[in-house]
Structure 1
Amino acid sequence: MSTPNISFEFFPPQSLEASFRLWETVRVLAPLQPKFVSVTYGAGGTTRKLTHEAVTTIGKNYGVNVAAHLTCVNASKEETMEIVNSYAEAGVTELVALRGDPPKGQENFTAHKDGFQTSIDLIEALAKDGRFNIRCGAYPEPHPESADTLADVRWLKRKVEAGATSAITQFFFEADTFFRFRDLCEKEGVNAKIIPGILPIQSWKGTKRFAQSCGTKIPAHLEEAFEAAVRDDREQLLATALCTELCDTLIQGGVEDLQFYTLNRPNMTRDVCHALGITPRASLEDVA
């Protein structure tokens, strides 16, 4: 089995306790030498400043390539490009360009009257700027606002044509979901790398809630397995085994890159990576 390229997603802390958790997560996972790590925006752009601080601090102190999330929410084009400039000045060379979720309390996305209307508009502006490698989002199961997966694939193709060089998928539970999506993308002429997004299940209850909100189908056999595992106090053991199996199946199917949604909880992601043969590399300082 070949060893995949890995990347990790973190979210910016909004409290002192959360801050300690983020830095512990980075400390545990950075030695696995990810190809890049990314830092999210909160819903509605609420963590814009915190995201900037986390991105610049991680890049400066841990020597990893950091991609900053950027959305269209609650900002004019001018404000968004000011943020872009501040990232460039901080040495950031990668952005994850997304439309973004509606602010808390709003069901539907409404673009800022002077802002970017869609992720495609944002990607076009970033591509024209020319200073960044641009990644985007992808949906192997229909986006809640989409008609079907084919519509999502065609929208992804437009994002790639606008300047995105790779796409990171929403999480999914079964490898075949990704393989079907990848095949459809190939059929529709999407010529960018598609990186599967992997969510280690830290809490089955929380994961189910997350899945329902973003349109991810929950297989019946998983529901039954986790019910038994929770009852027998082996939920983490089952989650680690399932995540490892999912990643292994994807690798066997030709996947070369995996993105882990860490939720700022590093241990299960680390354990899965170890099971896949990805282990920390000691620096000369460590062994001197």
Structure 2
Amino acid sequence: MRKIKTVAITGGTHGNELTGVYLIKKFFKNPDLVKRSNFETLFMHTNLGAMKQCTRYVDKDLNRTFVTQDLADPSRCTYEDILAKNLNEKLGPKGSKNPHVDFIVDLHSTTSDMGLSIIIDNDSPLVWKLAAYLSVHEPKLHIFRWKGDTAEVSFVNSIAPNGFAIEVGPIPQGVLRADLFFETETLVQKILDFFEKYNNNTLETLPKEIEIYNHIKLVDFPRDKKGEIKAAVHPNLQDHGYIKVQKGDPLFIDLEGRVIYYEEEADVYALFINEAAYYEKGFAMCFAEKKTIKVS
């Protein structure tokens, strides 16, 4: 078993998601909170420019900027491209056999009612072992396996060989919400406890199976011939997350009050419903299947 040497906790990847911004500030003031006996914990803000403006980003979404080819492309020089290259040098480099950090936990919030969630896009055994541990120690946690909206995983946490994002919500953009702030902090502490036990070989017996939500597809809003949104998320789905959707259930309602229904045969679960930041990306929600997977 290879021991963990360094864990990075990153926040402010989106400058208007204040849970991560302020949790990292708290760690700067109280670094002992994230110290453990047998590995180093790094913590940092990743997008100071966006934080200063309290915007998602300055030029482009930093959390979609870690494509390997782009990191090596000197012609890419937006604010976030430069940040990505610097972060890759500091925490990676991506794909390296000897990266500077072993695991990245990137802190996010969402306007959707996602509760306390981890977003996994990495199939390393260590990631899933941690997910199994958290499923026991944080019963409120949702585990979502994301297949992404880019061909290559291009999140901040993809720099390291292991990692995931934490998503909490609902929280409006640019707002600090106390209850979810402290829930996120508690989850981070449990993650660090896991690594300490892992290195000491004192982990308790973990579940061999866990329940997850597995990404199926991203769903766009209904649009007119000009590409304009012509219907809103139906009130039955609004302010919900991980909600079961069956054939005949309402998905959208147009501006004249006509309902658009889910017409597929397979039951799905809807999440990231009406996330404000995803309007520009062209989707209204994500569909997932609930399944039980084996964890080695």
Do the structures match in fold with TM over 0.5? no
Q: Provide TM-score, normalisation by structure 2.
A: 0.29
TM-score of the pair, normalised by structure 1:
0.30
Greater strand share, structure number: 2
